[in-house]
Every structure is written in structure tokens, then in C-alpha cells.
């Protein structure tokens, strides 16, 4: 309804100025088709942007429309017929925008997960593997070899005493045992400060003790 009122208003102003459509076109230099479009609310048939503004201004000047009325006409034409197109264009890009947002969110989460794993690897405990002796080992010898591997360049201690580590992270150390049960604590500290530990229980029974025990057992029988 508002569009029809505007069309009728423009046509009435032209007719009031005593101009036919042909005379208006000749005087203003505007194509007849563009004048028909203006007066029939077919604004989509007008050129877009600055060309449309030029047509409206020339039409207004030719028909004697003052500046205030011209601003009102221009406002109605521009806002009624360009704003919907802008909104439509924005809506057409809504799905790609959502996709970009999801991709960005996924990338951020992946980066956070990667950094978390890196931080854990940096400050987490080093790998510590004891290959010798086995758990609950029994021996009649007063010394035993402790062997294993850990992260290269780590610091390894056996019951608090530092032991040597080769470039591959392997270590091997002989320690003396006391009679009875021996608890051996192996600890590894990486360059980044990570810490790991393991233990082995070794029972040392000299041969004379074993013979005495066997003799005692036979006597009991």
C-alpha cells in the first residue's frame, strides 16, 4: 500500500507540473521505461546503486520536486527495495558462516588436545623398565645385577645411589646384598622433572644357611 501511495504521488507531481511521460523523458534525459518503472512501483527494473539515485534526482528536478520531498522519496525507494536484498544476501551466507565457525572451533579443540598431550609428555613420568632381576628373586650370592632402561639423559638411582646410563637409556649396576630380604628401589628422573620408580624384593640366603636349613628340616622329619 505504501508503494502504491508513492507511485501515485510521483505521477501526480509530474502531471501537476504539466508534463506528459514523453515530455518528462525528453526534458530529463531519463528513459521512458525508467519513468514507467518509477510511477508503477517497479523499482527492481531500475539500475542499482548510484545510477538509480541519479534517475530519481533527475526525475525530481524535472517535475519540480523540492529537496525535502526528494529526500523522502529517495529514502522510501532505497529502504523499501534495497534492504530486503541485503537481508537476503546476509541470510545466504549464514550457512557458510556456521560452517566456518564449526571448523574454527574444531581446530581450536584439536590444538588444545595436542598441546595437552605435549605438556603431559613434557612433565609426565619417564618410562622405567626393569629387566633384571625378576620380582621376589632368591639367590645364594651376596651380589646381584640390576638392569633396565629408561628415558635417555634421565638420572637413575638405586636405593638413592646414582648409577650410569648410556645414550640409549640402558643401565646396569651390581649391588651387594645383606643376608635375608633386600628391598631395592629404582628411581628415574627425566630432564623435564618427570619421576618414575620401581622396586624389587630380593631374598639373599648364603649356601651355608641353606645347608643348615635343609639339615634342620630333615631333623624335624
User: What are the extents of the domains in the chain?
Assistant: 2-89, 93-122, 128-220
Mean pLDDT of 158-183: 94
More confident residue, 127 or 69: 127
Q: What is the CATH T-level fold of the domain 2-89, as seen in this structure?
A: 434 Repressor (Amino-terminal Domain) (1.10.260)
Residue 196 confidence class, pLDDT cut points 50, 70, 90: very high
Angle (CA) 189 193 119, round 5°: 125
| Fold agreement (2-89, 128-220) | no
Q: Compute how many other C-beta atoms are within 10 angstroms of the C-beta atom of residue 189.
A: 18
Whether the pLDDT of residue 162 is over 70: the answer is yes
d(CA 36, CA 103): 49
> 25: closest CA among 15, 10, 14, 35?
35
Q: What percent of the chain has pLDDT over 70?
A: 80
Strand partners, 52: none
Angle between the 67-81 and 50-63 helix axes, to the nearest 10 degrees? Answer: 140
Whether the pLDDT of residue 218 is over 90: the answer is no
d(CA 105, CA 117): 18
DSSP secondary structure string for all residues of 135-194: TTEEESSSEEEEEEEESTT-EEEETTEEE---TTSEEEEEEE--SEEEEEEEEEE-TTS-
DSSP H or E stretch at residue 129: strand 128-132
CB 192 within 8 A of CB 161: no
Q: What is the CATH T-level fold of the domain 128-220, as seen in this structure?
A: Immunoglobulin-like (2.60.40)
Amino acid at each position: 500500500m505504501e508503494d502504491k501511495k508513492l507511485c501515485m504521488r510521483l505521477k501526480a507531481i509530474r502531471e501537476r507540473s504539466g508534463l506528459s511521460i514523453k515530455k518528462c523523458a525528453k526534458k530529463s534525459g531519463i528513459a521512458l521505461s525508467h519513468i514507467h518503472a518509477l510511477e508503477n512501483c517497479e523499482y527492481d527494473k531500475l539500475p542499482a546503486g548510484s545510477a538509480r539515485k541519479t534517475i530519481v534526482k533527475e526525475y525530481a528536478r524535472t517535475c519540480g520536486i523540492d529537496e525535502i520531498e526528494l529526500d523522502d522519496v529517495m529514502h522510501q525507494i532505497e529502504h523499501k527495495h534495497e534492504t530486503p536484498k541485503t537481508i537476503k544476501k546476509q541470510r545466504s551466507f549464514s550457512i557458510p558462516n556456521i560452517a566456518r565457525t564449526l571448523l574454527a572451533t574444531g581446530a581450536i579443540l584439536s590444538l588444545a588436545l595436542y598441546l595437552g598431550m605435549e605438556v603431559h609428555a613434557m612433565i609426565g613420568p619417564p618410562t622405567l623398565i626393569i629387566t633384571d632381576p625378576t620380582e621376589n628373586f632368591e639367590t645364594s650370592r651376596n651380589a646381584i645385577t640390576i638392569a633396565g632402561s629408561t628415558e635417555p639423559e634421565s638420572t637413575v638411582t638405586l636405593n638413592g645411589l646414582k648409577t650410569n646410563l648410556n645414550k640409549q637409556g640402558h643401565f646396569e649396576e651390581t649391588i651387594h646384598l645383606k643376608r635375608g630380604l633386600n628391598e631395592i628401589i629404582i628411581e628415574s628422573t627425566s630432564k623435564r622433572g618427570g619421576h618414575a620408580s620401581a622396586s624389587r624384593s630380593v631374598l639373599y640366603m648364603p649356601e651355608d644357611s641353606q645347608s643348615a636349613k635343609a639339615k634342620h628340616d630333615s631333623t624335624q622329619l
